[in-house]
Amino acid sequence: MAVLGLLVGSFINVVIYRLPIMMEREWRSQCQSLFGNPDDLNKCPDEPFNLITPRSSCPHCHSLIKAINNIPVISYLLLKGKCSNCNNKISLRYPFIELLTGLFTGFIAWHFGYNLQTLFAVILTWSLICLSMIDFDHQLLPDDIILPLLWLGLACNIFNLFTDIYSSLIGAMLGYGILWIIFLSFKTLTGKEGMGYGDFKLLAMLGAWLGWEMLPLIVLLSSMLGSVIGVSLILTGKQGRSKPIPFGPYLAVAGWIALIWGQEITDIYLKLL
């Protein structure tokens, strides 16, 4: 399973890079169709661009990456982190995502065993990694990933894979509603938008997978992570006070923790009470 995770991690890198570009091209095309703006039309290239086409290439010299140089993690080590053609450095993030995906996939297989829970848990994990990195880069949580996952979470829980269907349905509704209320309250008090609508949908999706009982834990953990990391970045000068911080990655991390250890953490908390 870990090897499968490495291979999927390589594809996740493609999705992280290409999906936002695909979405931007689609938006430009829609704007041109609605308003007939020739400037937008000129910015929409004719060549196909999707998750498969064109082949991966070096971002510096644009030479095509050979299959032998596209083996997860191993190729990066053999090439010493440089392009085989132009010798420019390759971002360390590519092997990091591959390795992270492999480790998480292997851990889930060990934690849940080889069953349907593992199959759907790894799908959720892969998606959360992808969503986290896209939000980190673009402050964007694509509906193309979140909405199918929301329906998949509901479908899984028809068969009680992670929770029962009633808890799943309530979790989806409350997940969206909780952050929407926080959003409106913050905007009313400050006149500013504290988070995006993608965050509402992400929490709704996690509620559909894990049930409403896990929502307090997810909200609490994500808020703590966001506060600690956000303040640390500001104090170290790596993040401006006025620059928005994406909340999606913290929700994703909290959701994954709830997936693995949610019940244990909740039990410990109730015992302390």
- Residue ranges of domains in the chain: 1-113, 115-273
pLDDT at 110: 94
pLDDT of residue 212: 95
Q: Using alpha carbons only, what angle is made at residue 78 by residues 74 and 81, rounded to the nearest 5 degrees? A: 95
Q: What is the dihedral of CA 87, 92, 98, 100, to 10 degrees?
A: 170
Residues above pLDDT 70, as percent of the chain: 94
Per-residue pLDDT tens digits for 90-143: 889 999 999 999 999 999 999 999 899 999 999 999 999 999 999 999 999 999
Contacts (Cβ under 8 Å, ≥6 apart) of 50: 18, 22
Helix axis angle for 165-190 and 215-235, nearest 10°, is 40
Q: What is the pLDDT of residues 49-83, one digit of tens each?
A: 888 888 888 878 888 888 888 888 988 888 888 88
The Cα 209–Cα 120 span in angstroms is 10
pTM above 0.75, yes or no: yes
